Amino acid sequence: MANNAQFQLSLPRLIIETIAVVKNVWLMRLFRSNKKLPLPPTNSSIHLSRKEIDSATKKIENIVKLLIFWRRQRCVYRSYSLASILRKRGVNLIVNYGYINLTSDKKNRGHCWLTLDGLLFHEPASTSEDFPIMVGEESENGIVYWVGE
């Protein structure tokens, strides 16, 4: 299992998977597609240590930064990449999309972040404060929507 986990988390493998995920998100946004990008189910047969999760997260975040260095809304690419890749490895990440009321004078009207077991995942504690209202219920597909004022 250790060799399989090392292979699953190797930098070359994470680079290839991250590029594939970022490409899918970029194409969807480029063509303003209404098609949903499904998240893979969480693979419950794999159990990573917190150290392995943190290491993989840092690698994926750095790859996304290199690929999306010119873009605003990098949070969508980051969140979807981390959720897609780590859910396949047993980490049940939930993608959260928050939108601020259009009448707000705040510059950033939306944000995308991750939670794990109801807690922010590699995000500042203030992340969810702008989006206090959950819209709907936590869905089985791993995506939750929030609204702010």
pLDDT at 126: 82
pLDDT at 136: 66
pLDDT at 1: 45
**Strand order in 133-135's β-sheet?**
119-120, 110-116, 93-100, 143-148, 133-135
pLDDT at 6: 57
Question: Strands, E, within the chain: which ranges?
Answer: 93-100, 110-116, 119-120, 133-135, 143-148
pLDDT at 138: 62
Q: What is the mean pLDDT of each run of 10 residues along the chain (149 residues)?
A: 62 95 89 78 89 96 90 86 94 87 64 89 84 69 71
